[in-house]
């Protein structure tokens, strides 16, 4: 809250001033009554105008306090979201993946929102809740210390009972928050997994988890209510204005009876004393809000404390000399608890050559591809791009060297043109269209309702996997970076798309250093170098023909691949016949 601290302070100051003016207003009201009683028939105009002015000023200041608090909350929300997204853009991918997209979204959205609500609605109340009872008590003591003590006695009794009710509050709040979190994650899971749910279990097991979470939530609430219910409600009764009023009324009449109390003072005490008890209620509500917002603050602070991977400054960084890639004895594990995903891997990729990464599932091919872009830092060894350790260049420099085409293409809900322009925002329309044509994407883009201005994902414009892939390829062509990393770029290709994709890729790869993860071994027969991985180790390397002759892992993979091609053809035709008969 520090960035908007002074504005919050101003709001709280206004709120305190309005509370004090409210008291002054009551004092003037009592004096007005006194004047009316002492000189019947005359109007104490000055006092009455004073009461009116104080009332107006009280409400103006209260309004001002809430205005300031709301402006502070809007500013805070914006500042926090900017800072959080800035941090997330620069922390390692490892951190982002470990936290999970859902949890991070919740922090940026919900936790910042609850801080907004707290600052906007509660900070002025907070100031009031503390100053009103203290100031009221001081005035009451000045008016009549015996009545003041009577009113205080009621408050102390109410607090005593309330503390009994709140004895195990810390533990209950924790249980309550845990149960609530479980309900919300069960809902998220239920909704996100809807396609799987519909296909496999008609919702029984996921919905069951949601129901269990709800039942546990209900159990916590019921227990909390049962354990603290009576004491809490009883203390609410004691702390409501009525008991204080009764005590002051009874004590005051007894003192007046004995001629020991001026009736005007008594009236003033009666007018003021309820303010003390009234201020206590919001204090209790605020305590609950503070507890809730503390959890949000802790989560926001966790994200803000996530460490940046060390990067050199623009002055000290080293610039890559050419478009080569080199792994030197690289080992890597995703987390300290995981097994090594890569073990002592070394290889060289010369500028302008094509290198294919192959191997069984889980061998570490995608890991190699992602380490080149420094999504994670290696555990040992080093990765050189253009002869420079990736740790010794800024991420901007690395980005200018390497373009990436992932298997899971993500398009922003923006126009097709802006999706292609990502990374080269200044590209003009002609070069953008040229890139789309080279990527075999121009024709289908022109068939969309608004051509290049069509917004992806809106008004039913959903693109097929192959089309999305070609938009990403157009993006990479436009970026025209010297090194290209392709991770399963043809994964989504259907027969109709595949020819277009292969054509697009070959244009993209022209004159570039290419490192591609490949499952379809036929597409990489002509690669300059094939690196074969198995369980994190680089087990073989060389050209296709030589590797087939070696009769090792690659020869086995190649054999399996060829068998699979033949097998799938036969199976597909039989399957089709069976389905038709059915």
Ligand X SMILES: Nc1ncnc2c1ncn2[C@@H]1O[C@H](COP(=O)(O)OP(=O)(O)OP(=O)(O)O)[C@@H](O)[C@H]1O
Contacts with ligand X, residue ranges (CB under 6 A): 97, 334, 338, 341, 359, 361-367
- What's the min distance (Å) between Cβ of 193 and ligand X? 20
- What's the min distance (Å) between Cβ of 470 and ligand X? 21
DSSP letter at 522 equals G
Report d(CA 275, CA 245) in Å as an integer: 10
Query: Given the complex with ligand X, which of 266 and 406 has the nearer CB atom?
Result: 406
- What's the min distance (Å) between Cβ of 408 and ligand X? 11
Query: Given the complex with ligand X, which of 363 and 521 has the nearer CB atom?
Result: 363
Handedness of CA 159, 160, 161, 163 (dihedral sign): positive
Question: Could you tell me the two tokens for 542?
Answer: 């060389």
Query: Given the complex with ligand X, which of 286 and 516 has the nearer CB atom?
Result: 516
- What's the min distance (Å) between Cβ of 570 and ligand X? 25
Query: Given the complex with ligand X, which of 96 and 188 has the nearer CB atom?
Result: 96
Q: Where are the beta strands (DSSP E) in 336-399?
A: 342-349, 354-358, 380-385, 388-389
- What's the min distance (Å) between Cβ of 432 and ligand X? 31
E strand or H helix at 325 = strand 325-332
DSSP H helical segments within 384-534, as ranges?
395-401, 416-421, 429-438, 442-446, 465-479, 495-509
- What's the min distance (Å) between Cβ of 360 and ligand X? 7
Pairing of strands 537-542, 529-534: antiparallel
Query: Given the complex with ligand X, which of 44 and 359 has the nearer CB atom?
Result: 359
DSSP conformation letters of 97-154? HHH-HHHHHHIIIIIHHHHHHIIIIIHHHHHHHHHHHHHHHHHHHHH-HHHHHHHHHH
Query: Given the complex with ligand X, which of 140 and 341 has the nearer CB atom?
Result: 341
| Buried/exposed 489-520: b ≥16 CB within 10 Å, e otherwise | bbbbbeeebeebbbebbeebbeebbbbbbbbe
| Buried/exposed 31-63: b ≥16 CB within 10 Å, e otherwise | bbbbbbeeeeeeebeebeebbeebeebbeebbe
Residue with tokens 């253009």: 386
Query: Given the complex with ligand X, which of 182 and 519 has the nearer CB atom?
Result: 519
Query: Given the complex with ligand X, which of 315 and 338 has the nearer CB atom?
Result: 338
- What's the min distance (Å) between Cβ of 356 and ligand X? 13
CB 341 within 8 A of CB 536: yes
Q: Is 428 exposed, middle or buried (0-12, 13-18, 19+ CB in 10 A)?
A: exposed
- What's the min distance (Å) between Cβ of 334 and ligand X? 3
Query: Given the complex with ligand X, which of 118 and 406 has the nearer CB atom?
Result: 406
Question: Could you tell me the two tokens for 35?
Answer: 């004047």
- What's the min distance (Å) between Cβ of 375 and ligand X? 9
- What's the min distance (Å) between Cβ of 541 and ligand X? 16
- What's the min distance (Å) between Cβ of 358 and ligand X? 9
End-to-end Cα distance, the chain: 66
Query: Given the complex with ligand X, which of 34 and 365 has the nearer CB atom?
Result: 365
Query: Given the complex with ligand X, which of 213 and 363 has the nearer CB atom?
Result: 363
Provide CB contacts within 8 A for 28, sequence distance 6+. Answer: 47, 50, 51, 54
Question: Could you tell me the two tokens for 260?
Answer: 């020991």
Query: Given the complex with ligand X, which of 97 and 105 has the nearer CB atom?
Result: 97
- What's the min distance (Å) between Cβ of 344 and ligand X? 15
For residue 240, the SS3 value is coil
Residue with tokens 């219910």: 229
Query: Given the complex with ligand X, which of 402 and 517 has the nearer CB atom?
Result: 517
- What's the min distance (Å) between Cβ of 535 and ligand X? 8
Report d(CA 323, CA 482) in Å as an integer: 6
Reference 138, options 125, 148, 153; nearest CA is: 148
Report d(CA 235, CA 267) in Å as an integer: 26
């Amino acid at each position: 809250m520090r960035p908007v601290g002074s504005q919050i302070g101003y709001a709280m100051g206004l709120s305190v001033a309005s509370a004090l003016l409210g008291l002054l207003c009551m004092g003037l009201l009592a004096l007005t009554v006194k004047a009316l009683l002492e000189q019947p028939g005359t109007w104490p105009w000055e006092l009455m105008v004073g009461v009116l002015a104080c009332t107006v000023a009280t409400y103006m200041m209260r309004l001002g306090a809430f205005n300031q608090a709301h402006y502070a909350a809007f500013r805070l929300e914006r500042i926090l979201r900017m800072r959080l997204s800035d941090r997330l853009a620069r922390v390692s991918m490892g951190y982002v993946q470990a936290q999970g997209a859902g949890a991070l979204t919740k922090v940026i959205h919900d936790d910042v929102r609850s801080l907004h609500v707290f600052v906007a609605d509660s900070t002025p109340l907070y100031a009031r809740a503390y100053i009103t009872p203290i100031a009221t008590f001081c005035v009451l003591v000045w008016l009549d210390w015996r009545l003041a003590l009577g009113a205080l006695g009621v408050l102390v009794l109410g607090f005593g009972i309330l503390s009994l009710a709140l004895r195990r509050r810390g533990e209950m709040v924790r249980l309550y928050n845990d149960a609530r979190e479980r309900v919300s994650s069960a809902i998220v899971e239920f909704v996100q997994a809807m396609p799987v749910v519909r296909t496999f279990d008609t919702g029984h097991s996921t919905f069951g988890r949601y129901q269990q979470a709800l039942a546990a939530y209900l159990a916590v609430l019921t227990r909390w209510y049962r354990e603290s219910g009576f004491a809490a409600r009883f203390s609410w009764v004691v702390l409501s204005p009525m008991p204080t009023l009764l005590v002051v009324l009874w004590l005051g009449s007894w003192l007046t009876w004995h001629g020991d109390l001026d009736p005007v003072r008594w009236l003033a005490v009666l007018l003021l004393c309820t303010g003390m008890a009234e201020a206590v209620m919001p204090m209790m509500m605020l305590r609950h809000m503070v507890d809730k917002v503390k959890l949000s603050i802790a989560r926001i602070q966790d994200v803000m404390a996530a460490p940046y991977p060390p990067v050199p400054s623009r002055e000290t960084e080293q610039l890559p000399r050419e478009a080569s890639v080199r792994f030197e004895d690289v080992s890597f594990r995703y987390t300290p608890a995981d097994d090594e995903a890569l073990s002592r891997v070394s290889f060289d990729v010369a500028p302008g050559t094509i290198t294919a990464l192959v191997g069984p599932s889980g061998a570490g091919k995608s890991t190699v591809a992602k380490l080149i872009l420094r999504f994670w830092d290696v555990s040992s060894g080093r990765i050189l791009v253009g002869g420079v350790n990736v740790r010794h260049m800024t991420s901007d420099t690395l980005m200018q060297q390497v373009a990436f085409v992932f298997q899971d293409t993500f398009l922003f809900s923006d126009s097709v043109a802006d999706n292609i322009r990502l990374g080269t925002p200044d590209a003009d329309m002609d070069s953008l269209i040229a890139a789309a044509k080279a990527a075999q994407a121009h024709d289908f883009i022109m068939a969309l309702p608004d051509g290049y201005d069509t917004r992806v994902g809106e008004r039913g414009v959903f693109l097929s996997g192959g089309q999305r892939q070609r938009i990403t390829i157009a993006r990479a062509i436009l970026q025209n970076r010297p090194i290209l990393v392709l991770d399963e770029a043809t994964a989504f290709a259907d027969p109709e798309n595949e020819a277009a994709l292969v054509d697009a890729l070959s244009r993209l790869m022209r004159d570039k250093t290419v490192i591609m993860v490949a499952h379809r071994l036929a597409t990489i027969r002509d690669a300059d170098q094939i690196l074969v991985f198995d369980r994190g180790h680089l087990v073989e390397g060389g050209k296709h023909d030589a590797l087939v002759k070696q009769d090792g892992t690659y020869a086995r993979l190649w054999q399996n691949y060829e068998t699979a091609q033949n097998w799938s053809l036969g199976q597909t035709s039989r399957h089709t016949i069976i389905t038709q008969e059915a």
